[in-house]
Amino acid sequence: MSVAALSAPKPNPVSTVLELTKLRISFASTFTAAAGYVAFLRGVNAGLVTTLIGILLLAMGSSALNEVQEHRFDALMPRTANRPIPRGDLSPARAALIATVLAVSGFLVLLLSHNLTSALLGALALAWYNGFYTPLKRVSAFAVVPGSLIGALPPAIGWTAAGGSAADPSVLALAFVFFIWQVPHFWLLVGLHAEGYEAAGYPTLVGLFGRPRLSRLTFTWTCGTAAACGLLPLFQVLVSWPAETMLGMGAIWLIAGSMPLLRQGQDAPLYRRVFMNINLFALVFTAAVILDPFFRR
């Protein structure tokens, strides 16, 4: 063993687990679930806490399982090579155990604190992400299109946990916006990291079309995301003018900030800036839905 290895500090187990479970991304999914819960209830009660705990545990378990599934490929990409399993901080078996405990715990929290529908939707989100989308990424550069169902499920879980029906047109409209948003969000990542994905054997739209066509396609889907927001007032997910104004201004800002994608010579700073913009728009959009009932008071 080298002197460097002996002197290297041992990884903090807590930080390793938080890194394995992609806490930041898992929390973002949980935040969108809060929008569904508040939108149905038109307010907040104590059940929101158990809803968010259940969804967060499920999201963390799903993220950890994804890292187990992809750890060999993660080791080949600069963006992911320093994750806990490729780095050697956790074995795949131990990471799989952590993922299982978290996912089962999240399912049980939703089932016991709320209802079977919300728990089954949570299980569907995990099955779709880990059982369908993750392997499909190895096969198709368009995997994110059906895979984006994952982004639509958390608000539906929140809605049903609050007592709503999963077939209600209002929650379907809300979920649809998150579905559409997920596609340009991922394709911007592809624009940033295409070489790394391709080195690990993932097919990408950059490889199929080149960056200029990918950029135009991403811009089109970004405009679709902004346009889909019009469904929310139509189906009365938003009913207050401050929330509608907030969302409308955010949609205009998103399109304006994405227009440089139509120019030739796209580079990493541009993709990174638009990627940050679309993430910020998701935050504004979710906040508008959560705040809408309070604007009416």
**Tens digit of pLDDT at every position of the chain (297 positions):** 333 344 446 678 888 888 899 988 898 889 999 999 999 999 999 999 999 999 999 999 999 999 999 999 988 888 888 899 999 888 999 999 999 999 999 999 999 999 999 999 999 999 999 999 999 999 999 999 999 999 999 999 999 999 999 999 999 999 999 999 999 999 999 888 888 888 888 998 988 888 889 999 999 999 999 999 999 999 999 999 999 999 999 999 999 999 999 886 567 888 899 999 999 999 999 999 999 999 875
List, in order of start, the domains of the chain with CATH numbers. 12-135+153-159 (1.10.357.140), 168-297 (1.20.120)
217-to-196, 220, 266, 277 alpha-carbon distances in Å:
21, 5, 13, 17
C-alpha span between 156 and 125 (Å, rounded)? 10
C-alpha span between 116 and 37 (Å, rounded)? 16
Counting every residue written for the chain, the total comes to: 297
C-alpha span between 207 and 124 (Å, rounded)? 31
Q: What are phi and psi of 68, to 5 degrees?
A: -65, -45
